Amino acid sequence: MQNPTTTTLGYALFATRWLQAPLYFGLVAAQGVYVYKFFKELWTLIQMCVSGHATETYVMLAVLKLVDVVMIANLLIMVIVGGYETFVSRIGLQGHRDQPEWLSHVNSNVLKVKLATAIVGISSVHLLQMFVDVHHTSHHALLWGTVIHMAFIASAAILAYMSGPMVAQADRGHTDRPQSGHAPAGHAPAGHAPTEHASTEHVPTEHVPAGPARISEQEESDRGDRHRAQPEAGASVAAPAVPRQPGPDVDAEARIRAAGFPARKLLEDFDQRHPRDFDADAVARLGKAEFVAARRNVVFVGPPGTGKTHLAIALGVRACQAGHRVLFATAAEWTARLSGARAAGRLDEELAALDDHPLLIVDEVGYTPLDATAAGLLYRLVAHRYERASLIVTSDRPLGRWDEVLGPSAPAMTDRLAHHADLVRLDGDSYRTRRATSAWAD
């Protein structure tokens, strides 16, 4: 139980970050000053060249001065955008084609390293100006200019060296903390082999997820029969029709662990022979993860046991490897999470915070009916993500029948979900049922 006084004080202190906002607007004004300075220097250079008074050394120095102004303006942009994003408020540009790669996953360590390298670049230009105009520069100025430049290089190197272990330590502290009631993603409980190594052949199955919201023991027992079945002995795997998975990457592995997948599933391991109706070309195209940058959705529809969750997780893994942050949970878990945020009076903040993840996976829509409140929260999630970020949704029924489990909010939800979406239908018998039948026959 939190102390109301402490909570209020914390919110008040956190709100003081907005005092920094005028500082960033001041830097915007400073950038305007540099724009004026740039064109003033450029106009002077043009006049000198036209009049014939510009020597080669003068032109070189003038161009270096213009480069210097541009680099400082770039440094200002980095401080304005990166600092505001990190220390004041998130800038919601996910999916924008011009979004810099460091935005929305920048942290203070990354920002410091980028600023240090930018300062080294500016210092390099200044030092080059001094050596170009060496006849008008004292040896004392050259000496100290070189020493200061080397100090900048050493500082940037030290910051870069320190940021790696600090980020890795933070990632380990986050990923090594087990979720309540679940083993960490990619690890099995004690006495069991890890999921992806439990057998020599992977099959399309659906799993009880370890998503961001807790589920009750009763719900887990009700879904206990949905754990992965063992493959048939001697069964061969069809040749994959999807591009091979990229090689291992430390940052990608951290994103995969943070996504909350119940197990790691790969497109290469999907048994394409099992579904009677399956668009392998569409899945291979989606495996490039380009739909995430395009802010498109993916909807897998089909009976239980046909591999919808396997494909959803596999696309999520590909998205992580492509540099995107992903979160996985069932529809019931998402509504529980949003319900808790609404009860705390921070539903809008929770939806905005989820924008940091370009891809959310909503598994098992329609498996259990949702009351009007839960359906409304699921609609809020879909509506908030509409044309802003991507969703992968799995369901056991076509979109036209979602009203059976979601009620009146279903038409508006499916309209937004399907507008920019790839619909993949899987038809066939449940793999788990087939395994059980085969076991009984034996």
HEC letters along the chain: CCCHHHHHHHHHHHHHHHHHHHHHHHHHHHHHHHHHHHHHHHHHHHHHHHHCCCCHHHHHHHHHHHHHHHHHHHHHHHHHHHHHHHHCCCCCCCCCCCCCCCCCCCCHHHHHHHHHHHHHHHHHHHHHHHHHCHHHCCHHHHHHHHHHHHHHHHHHHHHHHHHHHHHHHHHHHHHCCCCCCCCCCCCCCCCCCCHHHCCCCCCCCCCCCCCCCCCCHHHHHHCHHHCCCCCCCCCCCCCCCCCCCCCCCHHHHHHHHHCCCCCCCCHHHCCCCCCCECCHHHHHHHCCCHHHHCCCEEEEECCCCCCHHHHHHHHHHHHHHCCCCEEEEEHHHHHHHHHHHHHCCCHHHHHHHHCCCCEEEEEEECCCCCCHHHHHHHHHHHHHHCCCCEEEEEECCCHHHCHHHHHHHHHHHHHHHHHCEEEEECECCCHHHHHHHHHHHC
The answer to whether residue 188 scores a pLDDT higher than 50 is no
Q: Tens digit of pLDDT for each residue in 209-265?
A: 444 443 344 444 444 444 333 344 334 444 445 555 555 567 899 999 999 999 999
Q: Tens digit of pLDDT for each residue in 374-416?
A: 999 999 999 999 999 999 999 999 999 999 889 888 999 999 9
The answer to whether residue 178 scores a pLDDT higher than 60 is no
In which band, very low, low, confident or very high, does the pLDDT at 208 lie, cut at 50, 70 and 90? very low
